């Protein structure tokens, strides 16, 4: 079984500031990791995913994440946020014979002017 | 290419009723999964269908059921609705069934049980 912990339920930042959203996972098997974003009244959109290879993964809208196997983490970063980045961000994992996505509780990113 | 569509988008029901939600995956996608999203429990996996067969099921009571048709469209049904079933129900599709495959989500159906 896998589990995901998103350490911050809310992260307020000012526009053009850098941001890091933290995600830790637990699994007894090799995992695949995902970050999704959900804008108000919408479904989830994939930002990026880690399958294998380079531990630094670049995604859409200027986001990137780094897979750290020893720390079982997959933190999401953006060097400079915009008002339009205000949304809820979900970290998710699959692995083993389990094709379902196991999600964290989400982090609400609020970008203030 | 059109995205995942879900109908209806909003639904109000009363306790004890049943409801059917529909999901049309992206054209060519054969795998469909359903998730329930609530403020308290977050996003929880309901079930996964591939080639008209349920391949995986989450930890939900038997009141929750689903099916997939030969054109990959899927429906989920909830019988004897309870207040706690109020949630956003999200459908996701992927082209094939496999670890690491991107699941593309629809906008969801928001169900309110009174």
- Tell me the chain B residues in contact with residue A95 when contact means C-beta distances shorter than 8 Å: 99
Chain B interface includes A103 (CB < 8 A): yes
Confidence of residue B77 (pLDDT cuts 50, 70, 90): very high
User: Contact A100/B58, CB-based, under 8 Å?
Assistant: yes
Looking at the complex, report in whole angstroms how far the Cα of residue A51 sits from the nearest Cα belonging to chain B. 6
Given a cut of 90, whether residue B96 has pLDDT beyond it is no
Predicted local distance difference test score (pLDDT) of residue A98: 73
B24 vs B18, B56, B87, B94, CA distance in Å?
20, 19, 19, 12
β-pair type (A87-95, A107-112): antiparallel
Tell me if B45 and A102 make a contact (CB, 8 A cut-off): yes
Give the span between the Cα atoms of A1 and A3, in whole angstroms. 7
| pLDDT exceeds 90 at position B100 | no
pLDDT at B73: 97
B-chain residues within 8 Å CB-CB of A57? none
Which residue is associated with the tokens 């911050």?
Answer: A8
Nearest-by-CA chain A residue for B40: A105
- The dihedrals phi and psi of A27, each to the nearest 5 degrees, come to -160, 145
Terminal Cα-to-Cα distance of chain A (whole angstroms): 41
Residue numbers in B near A100 (CB within 8 A): 33, 45, 48, 56, 58
Name the percent of chain B lying above pLDDT 90. Answer: 91
Cβ of B92 within 8 Å of Cβ of A44? The answer is: yes
* pLDDT band at B58; cut points 50, 70, 90: very high
Residue A87 has pLDDT above 90, yes or no: yes
Evaluate if residue B1 carries a pLDDT over 80.
no
pLDDT, position A70: 93
Q: DSSP assignment of B70-90, as one string? A: TTS-EEEEE-S--GGG-EEEE
d(CA A45, CA A35): 9
What is the spatial distance between Cα A3 and Cα A98, in angstroms, rounded to a whole number? 12
Half-sphere exposure of A44 (CA within 13 A, CB side): 30
| Contacts B56 to A, Cβ<8 Å | 98-100
- Looking at residue A96, its pLDDT comes to 78
Dig out the tokens for A71 from the structure.
């720390």
Check CB contact under 8 Å for B99 and A95: yes
B37 or A99, higher pLDDT: B37
Average pLDDT over residues B6-22: 98
Which three-class secondary structure state does DSSP give residue A60? helix
Cis peptide before B8 (omega within 30 of 0): yes
Tens of pLDDT, residues B22-43: 999 999 999 999 999 999 999 9
Q: Cβ distance B31 to B95 under 8 Å?
A: yes
Tokens read off for B68: 């997939």
For A34-62, what is the mean pLDDT? Answer: 94
Q: Is any Cβ of chain B less than 8 angstroms from the Cβ of A90?
A: yes
């Amino acid at each position: 079984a896998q589990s995901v912990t998103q350490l911050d339920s809310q992260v307020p930042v000012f526009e053009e500031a850098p941001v890091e959203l933290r995600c830790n996972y637990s699994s007894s098997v090799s995992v695949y990791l995902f970050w999704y974003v959900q804008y108000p009244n919408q479904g989830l959109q994939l930002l990026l995913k880690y399958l294998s290879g380079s531990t630094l993964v670049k995604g859409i809208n200027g986001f990137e994440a780094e897979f750290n196997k020893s720390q079982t983490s997959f933190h999401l970063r953006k060097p400079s946020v915009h008002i339009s980045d205000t949304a809820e961000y979900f970290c998710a994992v699959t692995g083993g014979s389990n094709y379902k996505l196991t999600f964290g509780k989400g982090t609400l990113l609020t970008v203030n002017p | 290419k059109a995205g995942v569509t879900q109908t209806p988008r909003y639904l109000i029901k009363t306790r004890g009723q049943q409801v059917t939600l529909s999901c049309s995956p992206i054209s060519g996608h054969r795998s469909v999964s359903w998730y329930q999203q609530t403020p308290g429990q977050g996003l929880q996996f309901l079930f996964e269908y591939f080639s008209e067969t349920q391949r995986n099921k989450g930890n939900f009571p038997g009141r929750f059921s689903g099916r997939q048709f030969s054109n990959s469209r899927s429906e989920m049904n909830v019988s004897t609705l309870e207040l706690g079933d109020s949630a956003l129900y999200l459908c996701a599709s992927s082209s094939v069934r496999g670890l690491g495959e991107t699941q593309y989500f629809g906008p969801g159906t928001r169900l309110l049980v009174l």
